Structure 1
Amino acid sequence: MAAVVERHSIDVVPDAERHGTPVSQFTLWLGANLQITAVVTGALAVVLGARAFWAVLGLLLGNLLGGAVMALHSAQGPRLGLPQMISSRAQFGVRGAVVPLALVIVMYIGFFASGTVLAGQAVGELTHLGGTFGILVFAAVTAVAAAVGYRLIHVLGRVASIVCALAFLYLGARLLERADLAALLHDRSFSFPMFLLAVSLSASWQLAIGPYVADYSRYLPRDTSTRATFWWTLSGSVLGSQWSMTFGALAAAAAPTAFTGHEVSYVVSLGGAGLTASALYFVIALGKLTINVLNTYGGFMSLVTGVSGFRGRATLSPRGRTAYVTGIMLAGTAVALLGKDSFLTSFKDFLLFLLTFFTPWSAINLVDYYLISKERYDIPALSDPSGRYGAWNGGALAVYGAGVLAQLPFLATHFYTGPLVDPLGGADVSWLVGLAVPAVLYWAVARRDTGRVPPAAVAGAESTPANTGDSPTARPAPRP
């Protein structure tokens, strides 16, 4: 068991312990996206007013745009050997990174909750013990898998990519037996605001993965091709999400009353009753387990990153690791139980609201890594508030705040609609503003701050398993 349970968290993965190939990113992200919440996301585009034809195209465009940003984050993993969010210390400071970290943790809890609602329905039906019981059981299994860590997560991805792909092929065929595809796609009436809504829904899905995507590529060997990591990640994530979302959009167009509000039961009904229904409930739970484990694992490491920025060097014991994971699980379960009756509307607003906070972070992180630092970070300085990156970077934090504020006039949700939404016909383009404005501002601010960019020689320190706040370096840690 010791060889299976992961011991690393936010410390650098030593070169001797690197393993795997970029293809693992394809299977992980394919399996993580072939699942019921992605189906609901695609359905939302139609439920909220887009015609099926334009909804599918808008979802594809959003998946490609958001997926490219997400895959650029993934390509950082092999180079740095670090989870995604700790690299934010290079932009915001060792302690200043707690600002985006806190918001990321809220995201993890929200996605955990939304996924647990749908998976809980499946587990409840499978066991005949109800949705609340299903939520509790599913949450507990998620926590155990996240505590085991990296290797089990990738095993789940490989299994889910095969099982869920076969299930979605079957479900797609069954859907087309009930509905005429040509008729569903016949109405080509175009609404630009609704098209942009579809783009925003899928882009937000991909962009929200950015804060943890490198967590699952960081064990790849350092000489792994950046392009290979990028393309395998992008192809797996876009194929899986577009497949699921297209199914959801067509299902919502074919049976709006039967599907909306009854997503799990409708999907299962396509396969019939008996053993087929039980198998589909299992597939739904498996697909959600894969992504929910990612959310719990990412939340655990984000908490460790935030805390270690203030506590300094600290050893994380197995008991401490379990406590962090359990905390994420309990918070997500509480939100799931409280919000399970208003899931669909809440989830749409949650997705779009997430973009407000994570597109500026993505823009700043990518500009810094690829254009300012040129893939060179001083790894030991990421744990030293008195080092190269300092405790707080006021300039980066100001740019981040400006990026958030710049989006507000263009933001459209149930609880807030910006003044420029109506002049644009109701279209929400806030995420485009959230990428462009902070990218330009950060470039202008950071390109003059040469002291924060390490020389090429410092990049060699990355091969040493430097301590970044939670693991001793006196002896090599076991393989995960």
Structure 2
Amino acid sequence: MKIEQRSIEFVPHNERYGRPRRLFTVWFSSNLQVTALMVGTLGVAAGLSLAWTLVGLLVGCLLGTIFMAAHSAQGPHLGVPQMIQSRAQFGVFGAAIPLLVMVTAAVLFMAASGVLMRDPLKALLAVSDNQAILIVGALTFLIGVVGYELIHRLGAWMSLLSSVVFGAALVLILLQASAPDALHVDAGGFSMPVFNLVIAQAASWTLGYGPYVADYSRYLPADVRTRDTFWTTYFGCALGSLGMMALGATLAAVVPSALGADPGTAVANLFGPWAKAALLVVALGVIQYNVLCLYSAYMSTTTIFSGFAKVLQVRRGAKAGLMALLSILACAIAVHTQYQFDTFFADILIGQLYLLIPWSAINLVDYYVVRRGNYSIDDLYDAQGRYGRWNRKTMIVYGASIIGTVPFMKLSFFEGYLAKWIGADVSWIAGLVLAGLLYFLFHLKRPSSGQAQRLEGQTGHVNSAP
């Protein structure tokens, strides 16, 4: 298998291949791992009943996945990485602002995954805490350097392996003696703030893929139907994330002692003598998810620098070096935060919403409403082109949207006055509505690019409504 040649540049039509069904296994398998399972345990750990936790997870996953799948549908049409397209909204230089947020979120999730895999790897290998985290980082780096095709193939295999292991884990949980009482519809309690928090956490998980989901659909042929890309991505992500979160909630309710252990080890312990085999699959699943984070953190970092330096293509050596730096940074954060992990994980899960949701709303309104899929690919790479260096209107909308959601925010160290009054963090809803509406109003008089010529050769204009 060859190392991927393309990076941030437009993918020529003669190099496009594959069908949308590939997207299902990538997003199904990347969610079928214990980082998502950890999200499912949070509601039960906070005192919410299993039944209400499952309802909250269902609502959050179904809503959040709509937006990430809408981003995915842009990939085949434009043939460029997701955050390159953001230059049309923010300007070639201005796109660095949401790109920095994206890189930060991806690196933090890589760090979180390293901490989650620490104890499972120690059960498989005679290594220390820090060495286990470094092993996760090294394996993530090796797969990420190979790139796009290996990621898709790994997704297909992990869809099968993870389905077997976690499906069997669900059966073993339901066979526990404590299961009937824990699964009773009246078991546990209800709290509106916790219920809303569960919805926000589940939505945050799927919304977090938005800034890089199109990176994994950009190689598909341009004539792929938008609805096919949308629905294969949607069902893959929604089923995978909801399945794992529901498994995590069930595990926390039936086996409360699992809340005191790392989720990977808790699942593996259900398998008795087969625990190490289960741990191996658990570890591979998390590494696959980490690869998505690393690959897209690399793409976003490259996009930042290429905007200022007008770089159109990145050499393999530079790609490997940058991925190595990102992996090292994630490992350093994981080593530093591993013993205060619960608070760290909950805060980054919600914190990314505050910064990424306004970007998501701006990007989707621009693509589907304002420009209707009409973009000049050449100008996405030219600071002197039609999109300019900085789009001040968009940056004002982005900043105002973040500030406008502060009263709705709730973190371990801060709670906005509206969040206190409502009794829940609903900032993700406020961010979507505020950013989308402001961007639309600010660009009502934007001239249509519908007269742009159809894409010719490798670059030019993409002109066909999604």
- Using the size of structure 2 for normalisation, the TM-score is 0.96
RMSD after superposition: 1.5
Displacement of 1:286 in angstroms is: 0.9
Match for residue 478 of structure 1? none
Displacement of 1:181 in angstroms is: 4.7
8 Å Cα contact 1:157/1:290 also seen in 2: yes
Aligned partners of 1:62, 1:185: CA distance in 2, in Å? 23
Match for residue 35 of structure 2? 37
Aligned partners of 1:12, 1:107: CA distance in 2, in Å? 25
Partner SS for 1:457? coil
Match for residue 5 of structure 1? 3
Structure 1 residues 13-162: aligned runs within 5 Å = 13-162=11-160
Match for residue 412 of structure 1? 410
Aligned partners of 2:451, 2:214: CA distance in 1, in Å? 22
Match for residue 249 of structure 1? 249
Match for residue 421 of structure 2? 423
Mean Cα deviation higher: 48-57 or 372-381: 48-57
Match for residue 282 of structure 2? 284
1:454 aligned residue (443, 449, 456) = 449
Partner SS for 1:401? helix
Mean Cα deviation higher: 189-198 or 101-110: 189-198
Q: Quick check: 1:465 aligned with 2:458?
A: yes
Aligned partners of 1:144, 1:467: CA distance in 2, in Å? 34
Aligned partners of 1:388, 1:408: CA distance in 2, in Å? 33
Match for residue 204 of structure 2? 204
Structure 1 residues 165-314: aligned runs within 5 Å = 165-178=163-176, 179-181=178-180, 183-187=182-186, 189-273=189-273, 276-314=274-312
Aligned partners of 2:184, 2:445: CA distance in 1, in Å? 52
Aligned partners of 1:336, 1:30: CA distance in 2, in Å? 25
Structure 1 residues 361-376: aligned runs within 5 Å = 361-376=359-374
Match for residue 432 of structure 1? 429
Stretches of structure 2 lacking an aligned partner (at least 5 in a row): 462-466
Structure-2 change in CA distance of 1:181 and 1:286 (3 Å): farther
Displacement of 1:135 in angstroms is: 1.2
2:438 aligned residue (438, 441, 453) = 441
Mean Cα deviation higher: 246-255 or 64-73: 246-255
- Using the size of structure 1 for normalisation, the TM-score is 0.93
Stretches of structure 1 lacking an aligned partner (at least 5 in a row): 469-480
1:454 alignment partner AA: S
Q: Deviations over 1:25-44 (max 9, x none)?
A: 10000100000010100001
Match for residue 473 of structure 1? none
Q: Deviations over 1:410-460 (max 9, x none)?
A: 1111111101122112x110000010001000000012122xx523433x2
Give the paired residue count: 459
8 Å Cα contact 2:294/2:327 also seen in 1: yes
Displacement of 1:240 in angstroms is: 0.5
8 Å Cα contact 1:112/1:292 also seen in 2: yes
Aligned partners of 2:181, 2:368: CA distance in 1, in Å? 44
1:418 alignment partner AA: G
Q: Deviations over 1:80-111 (max 9, x none)?
A: 01111111000000000000001110011001
Aligned partners of 1:87, 1:50: CA distance in 2, in Å? 41
Aligned partners of 1:143, 1:207: CA distance in 2, in Å? 24
8 Å Cα contact 1:120/1:136 also seen in 2: no
Aligned partners of 1:132, 1:180: CA distance in 2, in Å? 36
Q: Deviations over 1:157-191 (max 9, x none)?
A: 10111100111110000111114256424226432
Structure-2 change in CA distance of 1:399 and 1:185 (3 Å): farther
Q: Percent identity?
A: 40
Q: Deviations over 1:206-247 (max 9, x none)?
A: 111100000000001101110011000000101001110001
1:17 alignment partner AA: E
8 Å Cα contact 1:90/1:389 also seen in 2: yes
Match for residue 356 of structure 2? 358
Mean Cα deviation higher: 315-324 or 174-183: 174-183
Aligned partners of 1:183, 1:106: CA distance in 2, in Å? 38
Aligned partners of 1:230, 1:207: CA distance in 2, in Å? 14
8 Å Cα contact 2:8/2:312 also seen in 1: no
Structure-2 change in CA distance of 1:17 and 1:315 (3 Å): closer
Partner SS for 1:224? coil
Displacement of 1:467 in angstroms is: 9.5
Aligned partners of 1:360, 1:415: CA distance in 2, in Å? 22
Match for residue 475 of structure 1? none
8 Å Cα contact 2:9/2:313 also seen in 1: no
1:186 alignment partner AA: V
